[in-house]
Amino acid sequence: MGGIVRLTALLVISYWLLVAAPKAFADTSCQPIYGGGQSCITTNNILVNKTILNPQTNQFVDNLSINDPKYQPGFIPTFQISVTNTGNANVSRIGIKDILPQYISFGSGAGIFDPNSNTLSFSITDLAPNETRKYTVVGRVINAEQIPIASGSVVCVINQAIAMINDNSVSQDNAQFCIQKTSPSVAVTTGTKGGFPVFSSVPITSTPKTGPEALALFALVLAGLSGWFMIKYAGKKEEIK
């Protein structure tokens, strides 16, 4: 009899721990995305959503594919982290880590930035049920000479945000965007001669005046010549007399 009671108690405790007990962490499903990494959606308690500002529309989007507007060296990408408590209880503390991708230097954002891991860390306290808080992180694309891809080429990178409770990851999400290394400016040529470029001729930006002012000057010259001939002719008539 005592064995049956103990077995029953063990089954009840096991059921409570595995099924009925409230779970501290969220259930997360992840899908791989183009360019590496994965995009994760949390279905319980804490939800993190990471977005990137579209440089053309100035709207935050989940991802920018290789066919979307691209960032270039020196551009300033802006990220947004949204953290939502989807549960029914207040969450006292949530740790957030925002991992900046390769070729992006840190600009500004709440928390402490570690340049060795390229990671920004900060905490959220007392997040109420159904409450969402948003945080902005600003970076900068490094100089073109620091990006080891050919001029005009495109590389896609991943920015990842992670939410943690008691140093355990409970939710994460990624935002992909692409960087295009611009080609250097070069002079336009029209062909080659002896292996050397032949540059286009420089257009003339001004021409001599040929308007009424030039005609008036020509008339003055004719009048002067006419006067000179008349004086000379009158002198010859006086000599004949």
Residue 80, domain CATH: 2.60.40.1510
* Average per-residue pLDDT for the chain: 74
176 is a domain residue: yes
Q: What is the mean pLDDT of residues 15-40?
A: 48
- If 0-12 CB within 10 Å is exposed, 13-18 middle and 19+ buried, where does residue 80 land? middle
Half-sphere exposure of 218 (CA within 13 A, CB side): 7
Residue 100 half-sphere exposure, CB side, CA atoms within 13 Å? Answer: 28
**Backbone dihedral region of 22: left (phi > 0), alpha (psi from -120 to 50 degrees) or beta?**
beta
Is residue 147 a part of any domain in this protein? yes
3-state SS string for 49-92: EEEEECCCCCCEECCCCCCCCCECCCCCCEEEEEEEECCCCCEE
How far apart are alpha carbons 13 and 82 in whole angstroms?
37
d(CA 127, CA 48): 13
Nearest alpha-carbon partner for 153 in 73, 209, 86: 73
Distance CA 55, CA 101 (A): 17
As a whole number of angstroms, the distance between CA 56 and CA 71 comes to 10
Structural domain contains residue 211: no
Range scoring the smallest mean pLDDT among 118-122, 201-205, 207-211, 232-236: 201-205
pLDDT digits (tens, 9 = 90+) for 137-191: 999 999 999 999 898 899 999 999 999 998 888 899 999 999 999 865 433 333 3
Query: Is 214 inside any structural domain?
Result: no
Q: How many domains does the chain fold into? A: 1
Q: Are 65 and 178 in contact (CB under 8 A)?
A: yes
Task: Evaluate whether residue 16 is within a structural domain.
Answer: no
The pTM is what? Answer: 0.60
- Residues with Cβ within 8 Å of residue 224, at least 6 apart in sequence: none
Phi and psi (nearest 5°) for 100? -75, 145
**171 in any annotated domain:** yes
Who wins on pLDDT, 66 or 229? 66
For 2, other C-beta atoms within 10 Å of its C-beta total: 6
Alpha helix ranges (H) inside the chain: 2-15, 212-240
Range of the domain at 118: 24-180
Do the domain assignments include residue 136?
A: yes
Query: Is 123 domain-assigned?
Result: yes
Residue 184 or 107, more confident:
107
| Residues 45/87, Cβ–Cβ less than 8 Å | yes
